[in-house]
Amino acid sequence: MILTGPEIAQAAHDGRLTITPFAADQVNPNSYNVRLGPTLLTYTTDVIDAHRPNPTTAVEIGDQGYVLQPGELYLGHTLEDVGSDTFVPLLFGRSSVGRLGLFVEITAPIGDIGFHGQWTLMLSPIRPLKVYAGMKIGQIMFFVSTGDIDPYRGKYQAAAGPQSSRYWQDAARIRAVAS
């Protein structure tokens, strides 16, 4: 089951889910609009190595906006902290943003029960596109879960700002086990 807009508002009010800051005008019929935070990360090497930490550079989106370039991966973040110990959150790009040629969160839309923090957004434009901090970038839906809950306790818990990949930590553990 998916939560309706009024149920999302009620759950945010009674603490079954967290959306901070919460704005009633961002509630949709069955989702909540999230906004783009002010910081972007980009990787600084020509080749991203899945088995190593990769250097990044941070860019602050100013009042005049920031132009995203095709062929570049930008890691953005939600302005809102979002999470739930009860519901399964799914984040998708808004269709109006997709119509501007911006892919948002294509490969990892599902959140874990128990995660609380700002969501890192994978942003990929198909042509140059100016974005602004605070623009509505995505929408989060919440689904009812069944069964026992084992809450998320992973490496991205309580994220603030965009988070680069920590896949290399998993790869190191796998290599250690295989040795």
In the chain, domain spans: 5-178
What per-residue confidence (pLDDT) applies to 172?
Answer: 66
Q: Is cis: bond before 21, omega within 30 of 0?
A: yes
Q: Give the helix/strand (H/E) hosting 170.
A: helix 167-178
Question: How far, rounded to the nearest angstrom, does the alpha carbon of residue 70 sit from its chain's CA centroid?
Answer: 20
> What tens digit of pLDDT does each residue of 136-156 get?
999 999 999 999 999 998 888
Q: Give the helix/strand (H/E) hosting 129.
A: strand 129-131
Distance in angstroms (rounded) separating the CA atoms of residues 177 and 149? 28
* Contact assessment for residue 126 and residue 103, using Cβ atoms and an 8 Å cutoff: yes
* Contact assessment for residue 110 and residue 88, using Cβ atoms and an 8 Å cutoff: yes
Q: Enter the pTM of the model.
A: 0.92
Average pLDDT over residues 97-108: 89
Pick the CATH number of 5-178 from 2.40.50.100, 2.70.40.10, 3.40.50.150, 3.40.1030.10: 2.70.40.10
Whether residue 112 has pLDDT greater than 70: yes
> What tens digit of pLDDT does each residue of 42-53 get?
999 999 999 999
* Contact assessment for residue 141 and residue 93, using Cβ atoms and an 8 Å cutoff: no
